[in-house]
Amino acid sequence: MNLTEYLNQSIESLLRDALRNTASNPKESAFFIRSMHVQKKASDIRSRSEKAGRHVPPFLIASIASQCNLHCVGCYARANHVCADTASEELPAPRWKKIFLEAAGLGVSFVLLAGGEPLFRKDVLRSASEVPDVIFPVFTNGTMLDEEYLKLFSRSRNLIPVLSVEGDAPETDARRGAGVYRRVADVMKKIKEEGIFYGCSITVTRENLPNITADDFVDRLSANGCKLIFYVEYVPAVPGTEDLAPNDADRGFLADQLKKLRSRRQPILFFSFPGDEKALGGCLAAGRGFFHINARGGAEPCPFSPYSDIGLKEHTLAEAMDSPLFYGIQKNGLTDIPHDGGCALFAKQDAVRDILKGQEGK
């Protein structure tokens, strides 16, 4: 089975599971029933494009905001100087909407909205809500999710809030700041009361791994209405934090725990990055399964590989998919496994820079 077929079937399975997990919520069930039909059409578009010689990734990651109100320990965005206390050089909302509409036309199924803190860009989120054929998971620290945002998420079911936690209160507050866990927990209660489908994103470190994969922790999230859990391995973008990154033994433990958690048949969907990429033959970055668009519009292989040779400010999404940098990364096998650490391209950033320098010399 080729990658496009595998990803198409995986998305179909994901939506089917999501529908099953929302059976008691008519509003959400109606959304996922519609989404199954819409995303089947998107899968067909991608398959036709594949036969015509163009590979369209089903996912995009869009860091729509350069501003954040937290100072999380080890934040890759601040380490790469793409996130700060104030906004700078962000694409305007009308341009983002054109990108989202083009993505829908090309058959992109999901655009993951990140930052900085994406809730600083209410204008962009409203634009995303007006593109119903794309599903937008919104990765947020949750501290800015107020009543107005609750109404937006309730009204626009294609926007799915994904709240960041690091475990329970001690782990979350240690990384994100005192009192953050309580604020996010209060948001979870309000989202649950509104019947909004939401998830949690957890950065996996060697320190929190046992707790965040324990049955009782997952059960608490489930009781609070959480329907998705993303386990994302910590990438040591900040020097001196290498010991926090999971090693091979830790990744093996995570894989075993995920098997157990998934076998419990809870109403939660579990994802692991980059762990789940192994089933897909390697890293999905640089256009294999996704690529990243930064707040300025630069098309990058991945958030952890912030290099670009083409921008969405001047170019179309289709042109960005033909990025020579992406082609060079795939041609040179930089997305292959095995690799060390939580991100293949982060571990091979010198090679990525060499490809970029080679293009500049032509």
Strands 299-300 and 292-293: antiparallel
**Cis omega (within 30 of 0) on the bond before 57?**
no
- What are the CB-based long-range contacts (under 8 Å, 24+) for 11-17? 11/39, 11/43, 11/58, 11/109, 11/110, 12/36, 12/39, 12/40, 12/43, 14/269, 15/39, 17/269
60: amino acid identity, one letter: L
pLDDT recorded at residue 1: 46
Sheet holding 110-114, edge to edge: 269-273, 226-233, 198-204, 159-165, 136-140, 110-114, 59-63, 292-293, 299-300
Which two structure tokens, joined as six digits, stand for 309? 């040779």
Is the whole-model pTM more than 0.75? yes
DSSP per residue, 214-279: SHHHHHHHHHTTEEEEEEEE----STT-GGGS--HHHHHHHHHHHHHHHHTT-S-EEEEETGGGGG
pLDDT recorded at residue 2: 67
8 A C-beta contact, residue 88 and residue 66: yes
Which two structure tokens, joined as six digits, stand for 71? 């100072």
8 A C-beta contact, residue 279 and residue 255: no
8 A C-beta contact, residue 224 and residue 186: no
3-class SS at 24? Answer: coil
pLDDT digits (tens, 9 = 90+) for 222-279: 999 999 999 999 988 888 888 999 988 998 999 999 999 989 877 899 988 887 676 6
pLDDT digits (tens, 9 = 90+) for 270-325: 988 887 676 666 788 899 899 999 999 999 999 989 999 999 999 999 999 999 99
pLDDT recorded at residue 276: 67
8 A C-beta contact, residue 307 and residue 325: yes
pLDDT recorded at residue 279: 65
Phi and psi dihedrals of 112, rounded to 5?
-80, 120
Q: What's the sign of the alpha-carbon dihedral 109, 113, 119, 121?
A: negative
pLDDT recorded at residue 201: 97
pLDDT recorded at residue 266: 74
End-to-end CA distance of the chain: 37
DSSP per residue, 50-112: HHTT----SEEEEE--SB-S---TT-HHHHTT--BSS--SPPPHHHHHHHHHHHHHHT--EEE
The whole-angstrom separation of Cα 5 and Cα 48 is 11
Cβ atoms within 10 Å, residue 9: 12
The whole-angstrom separation of Cα 247 and Cα 154 is 40
8 A C-beta contact, residue 113 and residue 128: yes
Q: So where are the chain's domains?
A: 54-360
Under 8 Å CB-to-CB from 33, ≥6 apart: which residues?
19
What is the topology classification, in CATH, of domain 54-360?
TIM Barrel (3.20.20)
* Angle made by CA atoms 21, 229, 30, in degrees to the nearest 5: 30
How far is residue 190 CA from its own chain's centroid? 23
Which letter does DSSP use for residue 339 in this model? -
The whole-angstrom separation of Cα 27 and Cα 121 is 26
Alpha carbon distances (Å) from 43 to 36, 38, 131, 319? 10, 9, 17, 20
The whole-angstrom separation of Cα 68 and Cα 48 is 40
pLDDT recorded at residue 22: 85
Mean pLDDT (10-residue bins), the chain, 362 residues: 73 86 86 93 94 93 97 90 91 98 97 97 98 97 97 96 97 96 97 94 96 96 94 90 90 92 85 75 85 97 93 96 93 72 77 85 58
The region that residue 54 occupies, defined by phi over 0 for left and psi between -120 and 50 for alpha, beta otherwise, is beta
